[in-house]
Structure 1
């Protein structure tokens, strides 16, 4: 079972680092924030360079990547740095929905964290000496609270870009 968990973690890291579009579009949604916007604001909205609009924090920076379907995926950066680290429980996606006149910020659950959390009780029933594993859900909860706040910062940055006073570049209507 340990080998399967390690394999799952490595597969997830590979999918995250390769920016696989299907991986960022599927999964259990833990965070879903909708930001209403006018059609004109959506037409002029640019999500490029959004990482520079986020507050500088003590944590690793968020990395953004445009997906082929027009949405933008984001995750914790793998770059080494001096910032703090926590266990990332979500991968994110920004979706511009012109039909509903909104921008959605979606955070999907990590497969590894979900599977490990679900397996803690059965593992303890089979191996009672594994009781220290009970700290894993607590660590995941703390990581979730940190990451939820960081995703709220992404929502605030998108809202700031939707405000009329945000400087816009000229977009040719043709």
Structure 2
């Protein structure tokens, strides 16, 4: 069982690093924010360079990559970083839907976190001595909470681009 979890984690990291389009487009959506936009706003919207519109944080920086279907995938950078670390639970995708006149920011759950959580609860029920492992659920929740806030920053950056305004961090400086 432990080897299967390690293999799943390695496969997931490989898919993230390779920017696999099917991986970013499928999965359990934990974060789904819709941003309404007029056809004119959607026509002038450019999602390239969005990572420069996000504020610098103590956490790993977000990196963006255009996918073949026209959407934009994003995730945490794997560059060396020595400040804030958390377990990355979500991978993101920006989808421009011209028919519905909206931009969606979707955060999908990590396969590893989902499978680990599903396996952890029966283990704790069968083996009560394993209850300290429930701490991992708290770690996952804290990671989700941090990423939800960071994804809200992506939503604000997209809104600023739709309004053709500079992000707030450039106005304040």
Question: Take 2:84 and 2:166, find their aligned partners in 1: how far apart are those partners?
Answer: 31
What is residue 96 of structure 1 aligned with on the other side? 96
**What's the CA shift for 1:119?**
1.1
What is residue 113 of structure 2 aligned with on the other side? 113
**What's the CA shift for 1:128?**
3.5
What is residue 170 of structure 2 aligned with on the other side? none
Alignment: residue pair count: 167
What is residue 35 of structure 2 aligned with on the other side? 35
Q: Report Cα offsets for 1:31-66 as digits up to 9, x if no partner.
A: 000001111110110000000000111100001000
**What's the CA shift for 1:131?**
2.0
**What's the CA shift for 1:160?**
0.3
C-alpha distance 91-34 of structure 1, shift in aligned 2 (>3 A): same
Q: Structure 2 stretches of 5 or more lacking a match? A: 168-173
**What's the CA shift for 1:26?**
0.2
Residue 83 (1) aligns with residue 101 (2): no
Q: Secondary structure at the match of 1:74?
A: strand
What is residue 171 of structure 1 aligned with on the other side? none
- Relative to the length of structure 2, the TM-score reads 0.93
C-alpha distance 53-165 of structure 1, shift in aligned 2 (>3 A): closer
**What's the CA shift for 1:120?**
1.1
Runs of 4+ aligned structure 1 residues displaced above 3 Å come to 125-129, 164-167
Question: Take 1:13 and 1:164, find their aligned partners in 2: how far apart are those partners?
Answer: 35
Question: Take 2:164 and 2:54, find their aligned partners in 1: how far apart are those partners?
Answer: 19
**What's the CA shift for 1:166?**
4.9
Cα RMSD (Å): 1.3
Question: Take 1:27 and 1:140, find their aligned partners in 2: how far apart are those partners?
Answer: 17
